[in-house]
Amino acid sequence: MEGAIRPWIDALVFGCGWVALAAAALVAAASAVMGLRPAPAVMGLALCGTLVVYSVDRLRDLRRDRQTAPLRAAFVDRHRGWLEFQTVAAGVLALVCGWLAGPAVIAVAAGVALFGFLHRRLKRSLLAKPLYLTLSWTAVSVALPAVHAGNARHVPWVAAIVALTVQSNVVLSNLRDREGVAHRIGTRRALTLAGGFLIPALALALLGPTQIRPLVWLPLAMAPAVAAFRPSERYGGGIVDGALLAGALLALAQGSLGG
């Protein structure tokens, strides 16, 4: 059974679908707690834009991945044609979603895309990668739905919780990829740092406005990924990024039940 399921899991994790679903789910969760109806065009833009940025990175960074992420590199080698098609198709759909969402959303998304396509250079810096990744994910999750609707509530609270949770995720990802500050300071300190970001995120979700309370699931879902961290590729892609997806879906579920 495991042998039959694993190729599908690898396709989701190494083919960027998992992280793209996390982006769309975060948009939906953030929209809901900001008093907005999740907009399909904005969620579609988040999903397709994330697919484009991460697929391009997989294709461009293949040589380095053969040294640091051999399972992911092998997947890209086997499915390069599909990833190229996926990138083009997702790019077209992202443009359609952006056009439907409007100029304000396009402006924010264009800024995020610029950082995304500079990823290969920026990630060489100890500090640049965690900062721009956190900023980009927060912009996608919070700023896109906020500027689309124009009447979002509790934006600073929501942005802070998302940013702190994503920062924990980035630390774990960098630790697995042996990059940035996380790799430089060592596993024990990096895990302490990743867990440390979740404490204020949890406090903000519990002490902030009642409407944002469902976001407590973001740090709660990320905490087990920190506690049980393993430096494997499937753990890094499946569990660490999956924690973002799980937290967002749990937040949505609680919100739909009335908090």
Question: What was the pLDDT predicted at 259?
Answer: 46
pLDDT (0 to 100) of residue 256:
66
pLDDT value at residue 36: 94
Is a pLDDT exceeding 60 seen at residue 2?
no
Which of the two residues, 225 and 64, has the higher pLDDT score? Answer: 225
Residue 212 confidence (pLDDT)? 96
Task: Report pLDDT for 1.
Answer: 42
In the predicted structure, residue 40 carries a pLDDT above the cut 70 = yes
| Out of 24-38, 87-101, 182-196, least confident range | 182-196
125-133 CB contacts, 8 Å cutoff, 24+ apart: 125/180, 126/180, 126/181, 126/184, 127/180, 127/181, 129/170, 129/174, 129/179, 129/180, 130/167, 130/170, 130/171, 130/174, 130/180, 130/181, 130/182, 133/166, 133/170
pTM of the model: 0.91
User: pLDDT above 90 covers what percent of the chain?
Assistant: 61
Query: Which pLDDT value is given to residue 233?
Result: 81
In tens, the pLDDT along 65-105 reads 777 788 888 888 998 999 999 999 999 999 999 999 999 99
Compute the mean pLDDT over every residue in the chain, rounded to the nearest whole number.
88
> What confidence tier does 141 reach under pLDDT thresholds 50, 70, 90?
very high
Mean of pLDDT values over 126-134: 74
Higher-confidence residue of 25 and 187: namely: 25
Pick 126 or 68 by higher pLDDT.
68
Average pLDDT over residues 228-238: 85
Q: pLDDT (tens digit, 9 = 90+) per residue, 16-29?
A: 999 999 999 999 99
Q: What's residue 167's pLDDT?
A: 94
Residue 171 has pLDDT above 70, yes or no: yes
* Percentage of residues in the chain having pLDDT higher than 70: 90
| H helix intervals, the chain | 2-14, 17-33, 40-60, 62-68, 70-78, 80-101, 103-117, 119-122, 128-138, 144-149, 155-177, 180-185, 187-207, 217-227, 233-234, 241-256
User: What is the pLDDT at residue 187?
Assistant: 82
Predicted pLDDT of residue 72: 86
